[in-house]
Chains A and B, each alone.
Chain A
Amino acid sequence: MRYSYYPGCTAETTAYEFGRSTEAACEALGIELVELEDWNCCGATSAHSLSLQLNYELSARTVGLGQEARLDMVVACPGCYQRVLNSDHRLRTDEAFRHEMEQVLGFEYNGQGQIRHLLDVLTNDVSLEAVREKVVKPLTGLRPVPYYGCVLVRPPALTGWDDAEHPALMDGVIDALGAEVMDWSHKVDCCGASLALNRSDVVITLSNKLVDNAIEAGANCLVTVCGMCHLNLDTRQKGQNLPIFYLTELMGLAFGSPPRDVNKWMKKHAVDGRPLIKSLELV
């Protein structure tokens, strides 16, 4: 299985461990990720907040970079995923925009590759059975709530996700890893995202509500696939001490990644999840 790969900025910085564990998990599953050459930032919330045009055009370049390869493009960051999906949709449906972008950026749009989120690829291309088969260390005793966050599933008309209010794709993967998925009502609630450094009062309120609800649901950790969510949930707790893991870190752990690598990822978290992993004898 071969895909174009758009890591996004956070995979190199605040979500470094997400980037590395994504690559490790994909390698273990035989997913070949061909990183887009010279990719740029999608502009995230800031671009669409100050200029819708800039927002569409930054990600049009990203779509353009993947055209020649004619492969589906895997995106792991929900923010990037949504921005690129929006631009791809516009390139597909707005002829004037497509022509203009082809000229300004110098690419030819063939629309043959789809923009796919990692969870979609894991479930629909790789299959949960294949994920289950790769597990050498079932994550017994781990009771995570799956947290999808806001932009991964929305807008439903573009993402085509299984359910915009109660998605289950991540639940399936966590279950395949041998952990016990805890049900809760906050899968797609927002953590406060881009208000992280400018209205942290709002982020602290929203993030702590999520952490408290996860604990109330009986979870001993929370699983995310978003760098922004991780940052907010991990660094803004008020002493609850709930470990926040990236799904791909848990995949690496279950697939038997070298303990040194797992340690290198997990030591990046503000709330140290390693004591929990150790107490469950998973390392």
Chain B
Amino acid sequence: MGTMAVATPVVITDPIFTQTVQARSHEPVMRCFYCQKCSIGCPTAFAMDYQPAQVLKMVQLGQKEALLSSRAIWLCIGCETCGARCPNDIRINNVMDVLKEMALEEGVKPAEKEVYALHRSFLNSIKRFGRVNEMTMIAEYLFRVPLKLLDELGVGLVLIIKGKVLHLWSAIEERDKVRELYRRAGM
């Protein structure tokens, strides 16, 4: 008598999470039938802990904790290759963005500390001046992750020598309006 394969029961951990992600991203995540075109085309998938198709599957299964603490959501660079190729018209990058937002709201420490540090420094620079000021952005970034200085010294020097980053920057007039937008977004 042969052994019968026993299917592992699928456990939907947090059904509300699935609905929340769907509502906030406006993306039809339940349509995903796991063709994996997104995972195959994703340029940063090789560095991710969960591939984009896996991320969608985990959203469907309500695996909130694993997703919010994943590296994958921070390594998505928003190139939109996945969304452009998805046969079900799911713009997965929007799902990734919502997952990052939720991680921050729930106080989950970003699994890619440096990625978060750069985003935050970049946005703080705009909050101050209305435009990006590379000097203050990089200063804040290195304050947040000092060891990165060693990694990026070479490229940093090239940029300085070529006169690409040390521009004096005049702030825009309507900084108050930009700050109002930040206030509204809770940033």
5 residue pairs bridging A and B, Cβ less than 8 Å apart: A49-B78, A57-B185, A61-B178, A190-B77, A199-B47
Given A61-B177, A197-B141, the answer on whether A151 and B182 have CB atoms closer than 8 Å is no
In chain B, what residue has the closest Cβ to A269?
Answer: B162
Q: In the bound complex, what is the Cα–Cα distance between A52 and B130 (angstroms)?
A: 18
Whole-angstrom distance between the alpha carbons of A189 and B81 in the complex? 8
Q: A39 at interface (Cβ–Cβ under 8 A)?
A: yes
Contact with A along B149-166 (1 / 0, CB 8 A): 001100100110011110
Choose from B79, B112, B173 the contact partner of A151 (Cβ within 8 Å).
B79
From B9-17, B59-67, B118-126, give the one contacting chain A.
Answer: B118-126
Alpha-carbon distance between A48 and B93 when the two chains are bound, in angstroms:
10
Q: Which 6 A-B pairs have the closest CB atoms?
A: A150-B79, A198-B114, A54-B185, A154-B80, A46-B119, A190-B79
Judge whether A53 and B164 touch: CB under 8 Å.
no
Q: Please, how many angstroms separate the alpha-carbon atoms of A48 and B141 in the complex?
A: 18
A279 within 8 A of B: no
Q: Contact string, A140-177, partner B, CB cutoff 8 A, digits 1/0?
A: 00000000001101111000000011000000000000
What is the total of A-B residue contacts with beta carbons within 8 Å?
Answer: 171
Interface size of A by CB at 8 A reads 55
Q: How many residues of B contact A (CB 8 A)?
A: 61
How many angstroms between the C-alpha atoms of A101 and B122 in the bound complex?
A: 23
**B186 contacts the other chain (Cβ, under 8 Å)?**
yes
Q: Which residues of B contact A (CB under 8 A)?
A: 43-44, 46-47, 74-75, 77-81, 83-84, 91, 94, 97-98, 100-101, 104, 112, 114-115, 117-120, 122-123, 126, 130-132, 134, 138, 141, 145, 148, 151-152, 155, 158-159, 162-165, 167, 169, 172-174, 177-178, 180-182, 184-187
CB distance from B69 to the nearest CB of A (A): 16
A216 within 8 A of B: no
Complex contact A13–B77 (CB within 8 A): no
